[in-house]
Amino acid sequence: MDQEPVDQSSGTAEAKPKLFQNINGVIAGLTGLVVAAGGLVAAYTGLKPDNKPVEEPIEQAAPNDQAAQQAVGTNAPADTAAEVEYPILYTGDTRDGISVKIEFDDNEWVLTEGRGTPYTYVEMLSSDEKVLKAFDKDTGYYLRWPINGGLVEESQDDEDYDPYADVKPSN
């Protein structure tokens, strides 16, 4: 035991504190964790189901697809005499007492309040065959109303509808 203890702090690699001796490994490990977490977040947002059902405007239906036209309830002519004709003009009053008109014109629904600006709505497929539904691309509003007239409702998200007007068929 005549040997003296060797001072290991004199070497260049051993001169660093113990925490910094493996700093490259720590950095690589942290980088791996960040990349893995980012991948998990991207996978989750890409794979999670969208709760909102996708509804396509009628104008995307094939023009010769008679079944699609009848299912949606458009006023386009068909080859059969059994086609149901829906009203193309509704009139009534908003909840504020302003006169309102909803008219089918040139394959679109046009809503006009009083003598104001007309709003153009594209007809959409409705889950209820007794209800018409339309979407305004410019304002982002949805409308729905019974085919035989009644309460017109509006929505900005196609989920929560508010009363808008009462209408009746006028043609």
Q: Residue 35: its pLDDT value, please?
A: 86
Distance from C-alpha of 95 to C-alpha of 128, rounded to nearest angstrom: 24
Task: Give the residue with greater pLDDT, 74 vs 162.
Answer: 162
Tell which residue, 58, 64, 53, has the closest CA to residue 133: 58
Q: pLDDT tens-digit profile of 69-88?
A: 444 444 444 443 445 578 99
Confidence grade of residue 63 (pLDDT, cut at 50, 70, 90) = very low
Q: pLDDT tens-digit profile of 88-120?
A: 999 999 999 999 999 998 889 999 998 888 999
Distance from C-alpha of 128 to C-alpha of 38, rounded to nearest angstrom: 42
Q: What is the mean pLDDT of residues 153-158?
A: 94
Confidence grade of residue 3 (pLDDT, cut at 50, 70, 90) = low
Tell which residue, 86, 76, 121, 78, has the closest CA to residue 100: 121
% residues pLDDT > 90 (the chain): 41
Q: Which helix (H) or strand (E) holds 41?
A: helix 23-47
Task: Give the residue with greater pLDDT, 14 vs 134.
Answer: 134
SS3 content of the chain, % helix, strand, coil (to 5): 25, 30, 45
Contact 167, 154 (CB under 8 A): no
Q: Residue 138: its pLDDT value, please?
A: 92
Low-confidence winner among 10-19, 76-85, 134-143 (lowest mean pLDDT): 76-85
